[in-house]
């Protein structure tokens, strides 16, 4: 069970790397055995990547296509991010190859996404060509997941993924509003609050005391952020993915998030 030991050690590793010796020790074999079975350390890691990708595709198949391809697209995004967060090291191995080694599995994922996009297209939901939409969603999705994985400190917002997702999908699909869903007067209110908050922050007015400015700022922030918690694209029939309870759409910004 060399492969299992490698996967386990990788997941437990703090640096995201494993030594062939450690893998062999954990598996109870000598090094040449590993090298005969996998040929190379890269071969071993490729096998680990393949196994991880098998798991990823399994979770992908669990999200069977529904009648709502736009919702499927959204669930696919969430599922992808959840997988990345669940095994960061493995994700980095899968999507940040050593510059030259392209795991074939990535292309398979690309075609999988393409299928969902095509279903959107045949339903008349696409406003950009299917190929462009696929690349846009794919790069934005993996890119965001990589950012979340490699900069856990910089982007502590759990809802960031949902925000970017809704914006990107709204830019690709028809009939989908970008993340902030407000209408008419609400939109004007939100924008005014956002503008005021920015002005207060960069140039506090002399007419108000610091305490007053702070309180006003708090209210403005609250006004500006309310719409971020609203459900967005494809609001009907929201399904939860098994892996991502925390990245779902309806997650509000109640806890420590500071998006102001």
Residues binding DNA (CB under 7 A) = 17-22, 28-33, 35-37, 40-42
* Minimal distance, residue 38 CB to DNA, in Å: 9
Residue 230 contact among DNA, its own copies, none, beta carbon within 5 to 8 Å by kind: none
Burial string for 120-149 (b: 16+ CB within 10 Å, else e) reads: bbeeebbebebeebbbbbbebbbebbbbbb
Nearer to DNA, 37 or 192 (CB): 37
* Minimal distance, residue 177 CB to its own copies, in Å: 10
Nearest residue to 17 via CA among 106, 84, 86, 90: 90
CA dist., res. 198 & res. 51, Å (int): 48
CA dist., res. 246 & res. 260, Å (int): 21
Q: Interacting stretch for its own copies, rule CB under 8 A, among 8-16, 19-27, 79-87, 204-212?
A: 8-16
Retrieve residue 115's tokens: 């299928």
- Single residue of 6, 63, 81, 144 touching its own copies by CB under 8 A: 144
**Is the Cβ–Cβ distance between 126 and 169 less than 8 Å?**
no
Nearer to DNA, 96 or 132 (CB): 96
Residue 89 contact among DNA, its own copies, none, beta carbon within 5 to 8 Å by kind: its own copies
Which residues are registered as beta bridge partners of 173? 126
Q: Quick one: 26 exposed, middle or buried, by C-beta within 10 A (0-12, 13-18, 19+)?
A: middle
Residue 235 contact among its own copies, DNA, none, beta carbon within 5 to 8 Å by kind: none
Which residues are registered as beta bridge partners of 126? 173
Residue 224 contact among its own copies, DNA, none, beta carbon within 5 to 8 Å by kind: its own copies
CA dist., res. 178 & res. 116, Å (int): 20
Residue 104 contact among its own copies, DNA, none, beta carbon within 5 to 8 Å by kind: none
The string of DSSP codes covering 169-210 is: HHHHBSS---SS---THHHHHHHHHHHHHHHHHHS--TTS-H
Nearer to its own copies, 27 or 114 (CB): 114
Q: Considering only residues 18-47, where is the footprint of its own copies by CB under 8 A?
A: none
Residue 160 contact among DNA, its own copies, none, beta carbon within 5 to 8 Å by kind: its own copies
Nearer to its own copies, 3 or 138 (CB): 138
- Single residue of 46, 77, 221, 248 touching its own copies by CB under 8 A: 221
Query: How many chain residues interact with its own copies (CB under 8 A)?
Result: 77
- Single residue of 96, 111, 237, 240 touching its own copies by CB under 8 A: 96
Nearer to DNA, 38 or 77 (CB): 38
- Single residue of 60, 80, 89, 251 touching its own copies by CB under 8 A: 89
* CB-facing half-sphere around the CA of 29: CA atoms within 13 A: 16
DSSP state of 249: T
Residue 121 contact among DNA, its own copies, none, beta carbon within 5 to 8 Å by kind: its own copies
């Amino acid at each position: 069970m060399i492969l299992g030991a490698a996967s386990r050690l990788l997941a437990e590793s703090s640096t995201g790397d494993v030594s062939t010796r450690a893998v062999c020790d954990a598996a109870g074999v000598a090094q040449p055995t590993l090298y005969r079975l996998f040929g190379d350390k890269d071969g071993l890691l490729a096998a680990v990547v393949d196994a991880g990708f098998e798991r990823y595709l399994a979770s992908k198949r669990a999200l069977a296509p529904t009648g709502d391809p736009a919702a499927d697209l959204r669930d696919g995004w969430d599922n992808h991010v959840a997988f990345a967060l669940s095994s960061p090291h493995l994700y980095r191995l899968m999507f940040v190859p050593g510059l030259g080694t392209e795991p074939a599995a990535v292309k398979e994922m690309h075609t999988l996404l393409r299928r969902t996009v095509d279903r959107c297209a045949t339903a008349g939901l696409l406003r950009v060509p299917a190929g462009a939409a696929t690349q846009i969603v794919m790069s934005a999705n993996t890119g965001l997941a990589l950012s979340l994985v490699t900069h856990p400190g910089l982007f502590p917002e759990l809802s960031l993924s949902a925000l970017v997702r809704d914006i990107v999908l709204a830019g690709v699909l028809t009939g989908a509003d970008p993340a902030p869903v407000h209408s008419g007067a609400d939109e004007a209110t939100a924008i005014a609050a956002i503008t005021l908050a920015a002005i207060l922050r960069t140039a506090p007015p002399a007419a108000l005391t610091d305490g007053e400015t702070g309180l006003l700022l708090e209210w403005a922030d609250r006004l500006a952020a309310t719409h971020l918690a609203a459900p967005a694209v494809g609001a009907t029939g929201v399904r939860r993915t098994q892996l991502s309870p925390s990245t779902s759409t309806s997650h509000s910004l109640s806890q420590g998030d500071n998006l102001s």
